[in-house]
Structure 1
Amino acid sequence: MIIFLVSMLVIVVLLLAEIPVAFSFGVGALLFTFATGNNISFLVTHGFNTASGFALLALPLFILGGLIMAEGGISARLLDFVNSFVGRIRGGLGAVTVLTCALFGAISGSSSAAIAAIGQIMIPRMIKEGYPEGHATALVACSSVLALLIPPSIPMIIFSITGGLSVGAAFLSTIIPGILLTLVYCALNFWFLRKDMSIKVEPPLPFVDAARGIAKAGYNAGFALLMPVIILGAIYSGIATPTEAAAIAVIYAIPVSLMIYKGLTIRTLGTVTIRAVVMTGSIMAVLFFLFIMSRAMILEQVPKQLAEVLLGISDNKYLILLVINLLLLLIGMIVDDISGAVLAAIIFLPIVEALGIHPIHFAAVVGVNLGLGNVSPPCAPMLYMAGGVAKLPLNKYIVPTLKLLCLGHLPMVAIVTFIPELSLFLPRLLMGIE
């Protein structure tokens, strides 16, 4: 246990020193492995075999699909469609941003892709229309983590594979929390901006004209809106696995972006593919070292020892869940969502199973916590990415961000944690899990 804690401390120090995540986890994994005397050849083989599994093929495919959608005009069509409903209401562009991030999450499964695709369009647009620049940036950052909750979610795929759970059931567990959080962010956006007279609002259209605008935007966005139906329909109908559905998404996105929306060219497709390869390579390096460390931890019975420590504090499962929530929040602050998903499966899943907590319920708890951590300072990778898109210093958007998190995301963490039926209803209804 002491060696494990020292290894984790080394990882945290390296991350705070801005050493790349893969190298930080690599040093920590090797330190733990050599200090405990485990067979490095066996662990490397295990890490390679796990990282090269068929299920993980979904990772590069969803990354490639998300980047193609961002470049190919699909995200712009989604924005126009949502804008046709609420764009002429005060604060409407903010609601457009939130809803489009949720829709984009239902296609790409990536928070960073949502910021890249939606943030680059909506932050300048909101600022131009009179929105406070800090509010616009905070809204994009907080809404981007809806991609962790609205399936298909890349972190949920990683969490399920690492924990030996059903990917489909884990997807379903976060749908209701994701929809509720989407509605909460929309409501908070309208509330914060209700008295801001500097926001430009176009006059409302007559009903017939508004209906025509919605119909036209829906027609133009038809191929984009069809994507989540195809992806999720293929998975839950049993036609395709999540990995096969990811391949379908890429095969569908390429001709739509090239020939229908024409936002992508053969040249930019090559550039996007290279970006996807680089992003996938960096993630797989992190996962490789995490899989090595997870196997070494299991061999040393670290999860069992951690469970005994936490259960020794109290036998009240809600108190233990509260402690785990705080630890998950810290993990989410320090590392990216994918690394956090692996650590949650390795460290905490055995503990919650020992407490009698349903693992699919815990998948939803992990999803909402990692989302909160990814936009919570000090590290907050998604928050700083949105700030980079807006080209603003942290002090300009930190207060609006904290308002959204404290009034929106934090209560949702508590609701998901302490009301299991919220996350178990759909898996039980559609997949018959116990």
Structure 2
Amino acid sequence: MVTFLLVMLAVVVLLLIEIPVAFAFGIGALMFAVLTGNNISFLVPHGFNTASGFALLALPLFVLAGTLMAVGGISERLLDFVNSFVGRIKGGLGAVTVLTCALFGAISGSSSAAIAAIGQIMIPRMTREGYPEGHATALVACSSVLALLIPPSIPMIVFSITGGISVGAAFLSTIIPGILLTLVYCGLNFWFLRNNTSITVAPKVSFAEASRGVVRSGYKASFALLMPILILGVIYSGIATPTEAAAIAVVYAIPVGLYIYKGLNMKSLGHATVRAVITTGSILAVLFFLFIMSRAMIMEQIPKHLAEALLQISDNKIIILLVINLLLLLIGMIVDDISGAVLAAVIFLPVIGQLGIHPIHFAAIVGVNLGLGNVSPPCAPMLYMAGGVSKLPLDKYIVPTLKFLIFGHLPMVLIVTFIPDLALYLPRELMGIE
């Protein structure tokens, strides 16, 4: 256990000095194997075999689908559709940002893709209409993590495969928390802007004209809105596995981008594919080393020792859950959502079994916690990515971000943790999970 803590401390130090995540975990895996006397020639094939499994093939396919949809003009149609409902209300453009990030999450399954596709459009647009730049940046950063909760979520795929639980059930567990957090962020956006007098609002129109606008934008966005329905429909109807659904998403995205929305051409299709390959390669490099480290941890019975240590802190289930939430938050602060999902599955799933917590419920806890950590300093990868889009210094958007997190995301973490039915209702009703 001491060796494990020293290795994790070394990994954290490497991350803080900005060593790439894959190399930091690679060095950590090598250190752990050497210090514990494990045969690295046995661990490496395990990492390769796990990372190249059929189920994990969904990851690059969803990355590619999300990239194609972002380049192909899907995000603009989604924005226009949501804007037709709330765009003429003060603060409505902020709500459009939140709702569109949620919808885009249902297409791409990636927080970074949501920031790239939505943030580059909405941050300049909100700023032009009088929104404080810090508020706009914080809103995009916080809303981007809805992609962790609205399926298909790439971190949930990785968590499920690593933990040996149903991918479909893990998807369902985060839907209600994701919808609730979407509504909370919309409400907070309106509340924080209630006294702002610099925001320009489009003139009001008659109900008939507004209805025609909704119908027009809905018609134009119909192919974009159909995609999440198609993906989730084939998964939950049993027609296709998540991996096969990801392949369907790619096959669907290409003609829609090329011939319907015409945001894609052969050149941009090639660039999007290369970008998706680079993204996938960086993710798989991280996962390869994480799988090696996780196997060594299991062989050294680290999860068992951690469970015993947590149970020695207190025999009160509430206290232990709060400690686990704190540790998950720290993991989310230090590493990206996908790396955090692997670590959470390896380290904590054996612990929650002894506490009588359902693994599907724990999947939802992991999702909301990693989302909170990914926009919480010091590392906060999604927060800094949004700041990179707006080109603002951290001090301009850190306070608005903390307000969204403290009054929105943190309460949702506690609600999901202590009200299991929020996570378990849909898996029980739709999949018969006990």
- TM-score of the superposition, structure 1-length normalised? 1.00
Q: What's 1:154 paired with?
A: 154
Q: What's 2:291 paired with?
A: 291
Letter paired with 2:288:
F
Q: What's 2:251 paired with?
A: 251
**CA distance in 1 between partners of 2:196 and 2:128 (Å):** 14
Q: What's 1:46 paired with?
A: 46
Cα deviations across residues 37-79 of structure 1 (Å, max 9, x unaligned)?
Answer: 1111111111111000000001101111111111110010000
Q: What's 1:386 paired with?
A: 386
**CA distance in 2 between partners of 1:308 and 1:347 (Å):** 12
CA RMSD of aligned residues (A): 0.5
Partner of 1:415, secondary structure, is helix
Q: What's 2:96 paired with?
A: 96
Partner of 1:59, secondary structure, is helix
How far has the Cα of 1:300 moved from its partner? 0.6
Q: What's 2:340 paired with?
A: 340
Cα deviations across residues 384-428 of structure 1 (Å, max 9, x unaligned)?
Answer: 000000010000100000000000000000000011111000000
**CA distance in 2 between partners of 1:151 and 1:174 (Å):** 8
**CA distance in 2 between partners of 1:70 and 1:349 (Å):** 34
How far has the Cα of 1:315 moved from its partner? 1.2
Structure 2 unaligned residues grouped into runs of 5+:
none
Letter paired with 2:62:
F
**CA distance in 2 between partners of 1:422 and 1:238 (Å):** 23
How far has the Cα of 1:150 moved from its partner? 0.3
Partner of 2:188, secondary structure, is helix
Q: What's 1:109 paired with?
A: 109
**CA distance in 2 between partners of 1:425 and 1:73 (Å):** 35
How far has the Cα of 1:196 moved from its partner? 1.0
Partner of 1:53, secondary structure, is coil
Q: What's 1:9 paired with?
A: 9
Q: What's 2:212 paired with?
A: 212
Partner of 2:152, secondary structure, is coil
> 2:69 aligned with 1:83, yes or no?
no
Letter paired with 2:323:
V
Moved over 4 A (4+): none
Partner of 1:378, secondary structure, is coil
Partner of 1:240, secondary structure, is coil
Matches for 1:345-384 after TM superposition, within 5 Å = 345-384=345-384
Letter paired with 2:210:
A
Q: What's 1:199 paired with?
A: 199
Q: What's 1:409 paired with?
A: 409
Matches for 1:147-186 after TM superposition, within 5 Å = 147-186=147-186
Partner of 2:18, secondary structure, is coil
- TM-score of the superposition, structure 2-length normalised? 1.00
**CA distance in 2 between partners of 1:391 and 1:37 (Å):** 47
Q: Percent same amino acid at aligned positions? A: 81
Letter paired with 2:241:
T
Letter paired with 2:234:
A
Q: What's 1:63 paired with?
A: 63
**CA distance in 2 between partners of 1:85 and 1:400 (Å):** 25
Q: What's 1:231 paired with?
A: 231
Q: What's 1:274 paired with?
A: 274
Matches for 1:125-144 after TM superposition, within 5 Å = 125-144=125-144
Q: What's 2:30 paired with?
A: 30
Q: What's 2:422 paired with?
A: 422
Letter paired with 2:134:
G
Partner of 1:379, secondary structure, is coil
Cα deviations across residues 87-112 of structure 1 (Å, max 9, x unaligned)?
Answer: 00000000000000000001110000
Q: What's 1:261 paired with?
A: 261
Q: What's 2:316 paired with?
A: 316
